Amino acid sequence: MKKMIFGFIALLGLLASCSDKDIFILNGEIMNAGDLKKVLLYEGDAVVDSAFLNENDKFRFKRTAVEAKPYTLVIGSRSYMLVLGNGDRVDFKTDLNNASDEYTVSGSEISSRLQTLSAIRGEYQKAQNELQSEYETRLANNEDQAEVQKELLTRNEAILAETSEKTLQFANENRENLAGFYAMLSLFSLDPITYENELIQYADEARERFPNNSSVQFFANHMAELKPVSVGQKAPDFESLTPTGQPVRLSDFKGKYVLLDFWASWCAPCREENPNIVEQYHAYKDKGFTVLGVSLDNNQAAWLKAIKDDKLDWTQVSELKRWDSEAGMLYKITAIPASFLIDPDGVIIGKNLRGEALRAALAEHLGE
């Protein structure tokens, strides 16, 4: 009888050991938690789990992740990047009295590496919050809204550029491990146009380096789809119809600099940018520059009215299919305004150039 009981206990231990490999465990401790009662675990933008603090301000998550994937641990107003997968036993610790958001993590090499990237993201979010607070304060003090927006936008662009460079540097330092991949995902969310070529090159490498990681493969496939319409590539040709039904091809404008402009009458940011395009069109149309507007409208009357109201004197085409526009799908348009600056040989030399950026690009290629 004793032998049978011993064997049964051993079997239970073996089963427990096997099942532990099918989950990850995240143990956490929060010093100076104050009134905090609960912490959240996010996967992407969705809360996938929550845990209450015990009497010692500790918590635990047990979940299944067939392959390592990124999570965000949210503690009050603070967030921390972690990569967790089945079999991981991770210990996390932070002190809420520490203003620098420092923390320690062990049991996951990638999560440990991501502390640097998490700090970069934290600094960026803090700067964003400070700009928003300053904006609200200055408007409350009756400062001119347009002037405040212009000044803060310039500062935000500088912050974005600095954050992007730090993120790229971290990604390059971790190019051969998954921390670099998550940094590239972060860079893609920050500034996918400026760093498009770096992202595409990385995706090509990562596809071979991490063949069994579905997230990497999904990212690599997405970047492969964008490659044909990236800077340095030949602009894909297409044909569409003018308001009078005349067929027009992009290749009809070969020999000129062309701004291929995707817009719509219902798109407020597009309409706000139109005066700038009108100004640049008239400044450079006699120097070898033109615009080809592709509308994602589905209402011809609204499209024609917008052309007239905004004084868009260049060639306009549309299939009147909104997001089902064949030209839009060819150029992977998922948001507007979107534009491509194409040189006389039909090569894409710029993307989404708006405001001062468009003027500067045209001045560079066509002279003041």
DSSP 5-48: HHHHHHHHHHHHHHHHTTSEEEEEEEET-TT--EEEEEETTEEE
Domains annotated for the chain, with CATH where assigned, are: 20-107 (2.60.40.1120), 120-229 (no CATH), 239-366 (3.40.30.10)
For 171-191, the pLDDT digits (tens) are: 999 999 999 999 999 999 999
Q: What is the mean pLDDT of residues 305-321?
A: 96
Above 70 in pLDDT, residue 298?
A: yes
| pLDDT at res. 122 | 86
Compute the residue count for the chain. Answer: 368
Give the Cα separation of 174 and 166 in Å (integer).
12
Q: What is the pTM of this model?
A: 0.77
pLDDT higher than 90, residue 40 = yes
Of 95-104, 261-270, 354-363, the range with the lowest mean pLDDT is 95-104
345 exposure class (CB count in 10 Å sphere: 0-12, 13-18, 19+): exposed
d(C-alpha 243, C-alpha 57), whole Å: 67
- pLDDT of residue 14 exceeding 70, the answer is no
Tens digit of each residue's pLDDT (9 = 90 or more) over 256-286: 999 999 999 999 999 999 999 999 999 999 9
* pLDDT attached to residue 20: 62
Q: Are 358 and 244 in contact, with CB atoms under 8 Å apart?
A: no
Supply the pLDDT for residue 332.
93
pLDDT band at 101 (very low <50, low <70, confident <90, very high): confident
- How far does CA 8 lie from the centroid of its chain? 53
More confident residue, 127 or 8: 127
